[in-house]
Amino acid sequence: MTLAEKKLWAALRKRDLNIRRQAPIGRYVADFISHAAGLVIEIDGPLHDLPDENLRDAERTLWLNSQGYRVIRFRNLAVLDDSNGVADQIEAVITGKALPLDGLPHSHISSWRVETVLILCCC
């Protein structure tokens, strides 16, 4: 686990959310997962900004979506800066009390997103 993942795990363990860490799902290993909520939580470092890694993330998200999971991603820096705030956001998503994206504090808008990948085909 990375330092950000360790910090988030410490914050999540204090809550009754039934989240597992480093959980295998298919050919992937989720940073964190709530099977009951159908939610995969990923912590992304700067490597995820690279085009090839973005493509891999999109493929992974597509597969996870096809298995019935939503994917929520947080930047390493967001977790390192405020692991309890990130844990609050995860709890809100799991309990269905999440704010709409435009209701989040401005500093968090670019630090997380719920992903659903759509592929458009031209025939």
- DSSP assignment of 51-66, as one string? HHHHHHHHHHHHHHHH
Distances (CA, A) of 56 to 6, 40, 86, 93: 24, 16, 24, 24
Residue 88 has pLDDT above 70, yes or no: yes
Mean pLDDT (the chain) is 80
Tell me phi and psi for residue 25, to 5 degrees: -145, 110
Contact 94, 120 (CB under 8 A): no
What letter represents residue 57's amino acid? D
Check pLDDT > 70 for residue 103. no
pLDDT digits (tens, 9 = 90+) for 35-60: 999 999 999 876 766 667 778 888 89
Q: What is the pTM of this model?
A: 0.78
Above 50 in pLDDT, residue 5? yes
For the stretch 71-84, pLDDT in tens is 888 988 899 999 99
What's residue 46's pLDDT?
62
- Least confident interval from 7-16, 28-37, 41-50: 41-50
Residue 42's contacts (CB-CB under 8 Å, 6 or more residues apart) are 30, 31, 32, 57, 71, 72, 73, 74
Q: What does the buried/exposed string (b/e) look like for 39-65 if buried means 16 or more CB atoms within 10 Å of the residue's CB?
A: bbbbbbeeeeeeeeeeeebeebbbbbb
* Range from 8-12, 22-26, 56-60 carrying the lowest mean pLDDT: 56-60
CA atoms within a 13 Å half-sphere pointing along the CA-CB vector of 121: 1
pLDDT of amino acid 50: 65
Q: What is the pLDDT of residue 121?
A: 42
Q: Does residue 39 contact residue 33 with C-beta atoms inside 8 Å?
A: yes
In the chain, the domains with their CATH numbers are: 3-115 (3.40.960.10)
